[in-house]
Structure 1
């Protein structure tokens, strides 16, 4: 509590400060000066004492086991309650809230949602002090004679997805342990042992890649594990739950499905067979498993926030409620599980060396996200086709969308792909009004996929089909069957592994594509022609293309230069496109098209009717209390991307997408 000064004392203090300032005439500024170290004499106003530095992690093991109890039963108020019993010794202790979360590639730990922090020893309350520079650190002076403290707090999970995603509903929970724990500074994550347990609502079941010791009276108690493994093992639980084994080799891989309603857990035998094929095709690609068990955690939900997040022996995946009953409606959801599964090899067991940090409060780096995420995206699409989860034609549609997007992306003029990787630390998937100019997170996924398609087709062409990127995958990500100890890789390691498959100037190949910028910089589309296809545009999509290109009906990116939202807002305005050149920016709403009430269908009809004529397309726009009428002198019709076979060329992309027989 801060003690309020009496008015007279406050006046005397202010007078004293003013007199002191006048007595010392200011001198010329000579540059920034290092502040004096805080001491009891010069402690900044508001701090009762000096704070010791936050200990850096060492190779030592934290003594004892931290008992960690989670109560997740308050689903109506969406509050997770935590109680940690921590063995301690007398003296300074710093507890850390995880900041750099695995798979987020940025400082995303929601410390703002942690409340009610109290520390006790028996009946005695112990004060704590938050660090003044790092708000994720809590300083504690452990009194003499105290060997154990109890830390309690709440994680106030969110009621909607406006800022943080919803993780609790009346039907389910997505418990990410790292969002609801504190751990002692000065140690590696692998050197701190937790004994976790969770209380769930009555009757709920759960899936998690931890070993359950017992589950009774609604409390699941897990075998003690290190902090790294705990954080890497989230839990999906719910009132509607089903666990399905999908491992053709045994019982190591499972689908764990929760849903808003029981009817949404309805995988067909054919769908289960596709997931079994996914496991088989992934085994054949990499040649070894980096896990002893693997749990797909799948939420078929419209209530919980969307997620796709990799872990070493599990993954978090949210899909639409009709994922199983309306198969293929959402290709992004179909391809999500293969993508996250591949991360067990690329990103978890084998990962960029600059992402292998000692604990979860040391900054990560993202220089190799184009491998971590980009090649994972590539293999995710390939395995989606090889397993039968989607057809070759479906994947060709998504590749066409990617190719068109990057072929028309103006942001490459100033910003290379490598910078997009590095920028991610500034904020996790931040939005901006001109994403085509700014570029963003998706680029190190989808543009990098095109780079790896380029590499794969180059190897196949140069070796007459005897070698491929499959050989790189097995050599680089495989080996050590059943081992999941993380291994770091560098740019030079990637180049060496590619050269081991097919000698080439891979360093220049990669750097040219990663560092390209300027008016002449092009998207990495060479893999299309080498793969037997070329990018074209059509105004008449097939039923299959419409199903895969879910946003086709409101997509005018390659004609008028924007996308139309469900509320008729002009979004995604392409930098340098026709709408941009007409001085249209964010915030405008389409009111009418050629004097007809606006809708996406009306706008499509108008663009089609203007094709081959000299008649302009007239749009009435509204922004707040302002109205504008804009005439587009555009006559080339609707334009949707499509891959077209180049006659007489090998269908290498078709070969890439075909299932492996061994």
Structure 2
């Protein structure tokens, strides 16, 4: 008791001797609910992006206030396109508020750590926040957004905004200071000529600012993808090396065809300008992220210069471009939230992402990003992967829409059993099923193209979001062709198989088969990725150092108790290599020969023996004789 009395007396003395302007931290407040009313004035956000060596963005934000008293500011938590609470608040540092030239203390909300409470002092008309956004300096810290040659500004990761308002109610004006000589691409429009290295952009609502990231770099080129078109569509390229930016006329023609084929598919544009942001890099972190008037796309530096081998990134642009219609203009109602700290509802991601996956692949084929055979080979790989996803025994595909929240794209050990965001590619297979069903039942007079025009192609020139529900999707499908679409969709979304929804392949005129030879597409793709495929034989993939990258649940490898991260040291008494393992599997086919591996698990070694005799297996699509080639028609370029 005496110790407490002394402590209280000391505290009183310290408070009495503190400077007059000192302020104790505010008492935690209740976070106000969002109301649909304009925030007064314009929030000015100034970003200095010149500290390339230390990868630090320095931010000064000036926020008009409504008067003295409690104020809560949010750091964005639920990020559009990431579908989860992934706002990297751990990358915010050095936060100091001032008003009237004096420091204003803050306290973080105990239950919502993305919220900061302050008390605005009497007489203040604005609150100034100064802080840093600390880009990771290695991949282990997160996605790198700044290198010596380029950077990626995502505004939502370097701003605070007033709680209690819809994001569209808050007007923002951003400026950015770039290194000397750098150029940039963004959907934002400048107010005029730059002042030195600083560019100030026109004021926009907060949601438009967040939807308008920037790529900037030392090596930059802009290419018009729709010369003379109804609205500008630009490709803005930054690269690690100037020599990477070398698209041929034919490659530019293919990208222009992609824009043209999208116009012919959707029949409308919901943007007044569009900017593809492309980073050709292996130094800045990879990304593929959609926005209404732009998209962030990271590709291999050799995307253009080694075109024939760069298949992994080939349909990225067509996927993200499709999102301007699917996910941005037409947005699931549960994604149309008041601000970035209201939880997103993901139940319709099989439309948002699944149908975008479908159209991204289709537009890639129709434009020439993929040849027809490459499109078929890629589809065969997708079909085989999901036909062997045994996790559907316990987990419906519909439940995987929760993975951006549950897993947040962290690595998992048993992909085929745990499942992970299967709404993308299995969603693609469901929409292929729907397309071929419509084609079959209408004698080829209609297809999912008609759905795309009816669902995404309405209100040409409208830019505001147009939310939808499950019932809206069903109603639009019925407008194309009467059918029990609700049952069709729910059976595939909520069912447990066995196997993936592959009826679309058969109706399309093809069946999934396995042979002992990789398709040219898979051979090129896996060669570029450094991946060796033994999934449909032993049940594993390996990397260049023979480390196991994946294990198929219930496969022979699973039965031998192999797991991701183990390393194969020897195959049948010889040093391990992908070639030796392929030869051993081939030699054991149809014989009594065993396949013997020595496997290392950290410091432990053991021998495993496979009694497997079915040979190598790689997926292909085989034509069904006497049936219409509906997949061929799906992948054919539209002439009008």
With structure 2 as the length reference, what TM-score do the two structures score? 0.95
Partners of 1:621 and 1:345 in 2: CA distance:
49
Partners of 2:604 and 2:37 in 1: CA distance:
65
SS in 2 for 1:360: coil
Partners of 2:91 and 2:419 in 1: CA distance:
30
Alignment correspondent of 1:241:
220
Instruction: Confirm or deny that 1:394 pairs with 2:374.
Output: yes
Alpha-carbon offset, residue 431 of structure 1: 2.1
Map residues 324-343 of structure 1 onto 2, 5 A cutoff: 324-343=304-323
Instruction: Confirm or deny that 1:580 pairs with 2:558.
Output: yes
SS in 2 for 1:523: coil
SS in 2 for 1:115: strand
Instruction: Confirm or deny that 1:215 pairs with 2:209.
Output: no
Alpha-carbon offset, residue 571 of structure 1: 2.4
Whether the aligned pair in 2 keeps the contact of 1:420 and 1:439 (CA below 8 Å) is yes
Alpha-carbon offset, residue 93 of structure 1: 0.7
Provide runs of 4+ in structure 1 moved above 3 Å.
10-13, 47-50, 542-545, 548-553
Instruction: Confirm or deny that 1:535 pairs with 2:512.
Output: yes
Task: Work out which of the residue numbers 82, 89, 109 in structure 1 matches 2:87.
Answer: 109
Instruction: Confirm or deny that 1:152 pairs with 2:130.
Output: yes
Whether the aligned pair in 2 keeps the contact of 1:346 and 1:372 (CA below 8 Å) is yes
Alignment correspondent of 1:300:
280
Alignment correspondent of 1:81:
58
Alignment correspondent of 1:516:
495
Map residues 365-444 of structure 1 onto 2, 5 A cutoff: 365-441=345-421, 443-444=422-423
Alignment correspondent of 2:15:
none
Partners of 2:353 and 2:163 in 1: CA distance:
30
Whether the aligned pair in 1 keeps the contact of 2:389 and 2:499 (CA below 8 Å) is no
Map residues 553-632 of structure 1 onto 2, 5 A cutoff: 554-632=532-610
Alignment correspondent of 1:30:
none
Partners of 1:544 and 1:588 in 2: CA distance:
28
Alpha-carbon offset, residue 481 of structure 1: 1.9
Partners of 2:362 and 2:334 in 1: CA distance:
27
Whether the aligned pair in 1 keeps the contact of 2:26 and 2:117 (CA below 8 Å) is no
Whether the aligned pair in 2 keeps the contact of 1:328 and 1:390 (CA below 8 Å) is no
Residues 177-212 of structure 1 deviation map (CA, whole Å, 9 limit, x = unaligned): 000000001111111001110000000000000111
Whether the aligned pair in 2 keeps the contact of 1:292 and 1:483 (CA below 8 Å) is no
Map residues 232-381 of structure 1 onto 2, 5 A cutoff: 232-248=211-227, 249-250=229-230, 252-381=232-361
Instruction: Confirm or deny that 1:640 pairs with 2:634.
Output: no
- Structure 1 spans left out of the alignment, 5+ residues: 1-6, 14-46
Partners of 1:351 and 1:51 in 2: CA distance:
35
Alpha-carbon offset, residue 546 of structure 1: 1.5
SS in 2 for 1:162: helix
- Structure 2 spans left out of the alignment, 5+ residues: 8-23
Instruction: Confirm or deny that 1:495 pairs with 2:489.
Output: no
Alignment correspondent of 1:4:
none
Alpha-carbon offset, residue 322 of structure 1: 0.3
Alpha-carbon offset, residue 625 of structure 1: 2.0
Map residues 5-20 of structure 1 onto 2, 5 A cutoff: 9=3
Alpha-carbon offset, residue 542 of structure 1: 4.5
Instruction: Confirm or deny that 1:178 pairs with 2:166.
Output: no
Whether the aligned pair in 2 keeps the contact of 1:398 and 1:548 (CA below 8 Å) is no
Residues 470-501 of structure 1 deviation map (CA, whole Å, 9 limit, x = unaligned): 00000001122222100111001000000000
The verdict on how the C-alpha distance between 1:464 and 1:574 changes in structure 2, with shifts beyond 3 A counting, is same
Alpha-carbon offset, residue 10 of structure 1: 5.9
Residues 88-136 of structure 1 deviation map (CA, whole Å, 9 limit, x = unaligned): 1211111100000110000000001101000112431111111111111
**Which has the higher mean CA deviation after the structures are superposed, 611-620 or 167-176?**
611-620
Residues 15-38 of structure 1 deviation map (CA, whole Å, 9 limit, x = unaligned): xxxxxxxxxxxxxxxxxxxxxxxx
Alignment correspondent of 1:451:
430
Alpha-carbon offset, residue 615 of structure 1: 0.5
Partners of 1:194 and 1:11 in 2: CA distance:
50
SS in 2 for 1:380: helix
Partners of 1:567 and 1:390 in 2: CA distance:
30
Whether the aligned pair in 2 keeps the contact of 1:158 and 1:166 (CA below 8 Å) is yes
Task: Work out which of the residue numbers 139, 143, 149 in structure 1 matches 2:121.
Answer: 143
Alpha-carbon offset, residue 381 of structure 1: 0.3
Partners of 1:138 and 1:11 in 2: CA distance:
32
With structure 1 as the length reference, what TM-score do the two structures score? 0.92
Residues 275-308 of structure 1 deviation map (CA, whole Å, 9 limit, x = unaligned): 1111111001000001000000000001000000
Matched pairs, number: 620
Partners of 2:198 and 2:544 in 1: CA distance:
44
SS in 2 for 1:331: coil
What root-mean-square deviation, in Å, do the aligned CA atoms of Structure 1 and Structure 2 show?
1.6
Whether the aligned pair in 1 keeps the contact of 2:170 and 2:205 (CA below 8 Å) is yes
SS in 1 for 2:207: helix
Partners of 1:316 and 1:575 in 2: CA distance:
35
Alpha-carbon offset, residue 548 of structure 1: 4.0
Alpha-carbon offset, residue 540 of structure 1: 1.7
Whether the aligned pair in 2 keeps the contact of 1:115 and 1:153 (CA below 8 Å) is yes
Alignment correspondent of 2:17:
none
Alignment correspondent of 2:463:
484
Alignment correspondent of 1:36:
none
The verdict on how the C-alpha distance between 1:62 and 1:553 changes in structure 2, with shifts beyond 3 A counting, is closer
Partners of 2:378 and 2:605 in 1: CA distance:
37
The verdict on how the C-alpha distance between 1:140 and 1:635 changes in structure 2, with shifts beyond 3 A counting, is same
**Which has the higher mean CA deviation after the structures are superposed, 538-547 or 458-467?**
538-547
Whether the aligned pair in 2 keeps the contact of 1:532 and 1:646 (CA below 8 Å) is yes
Whether the aligned pair in 2 keeps the contact of 1:546 and 1:552 (CA below 8 Å) is no
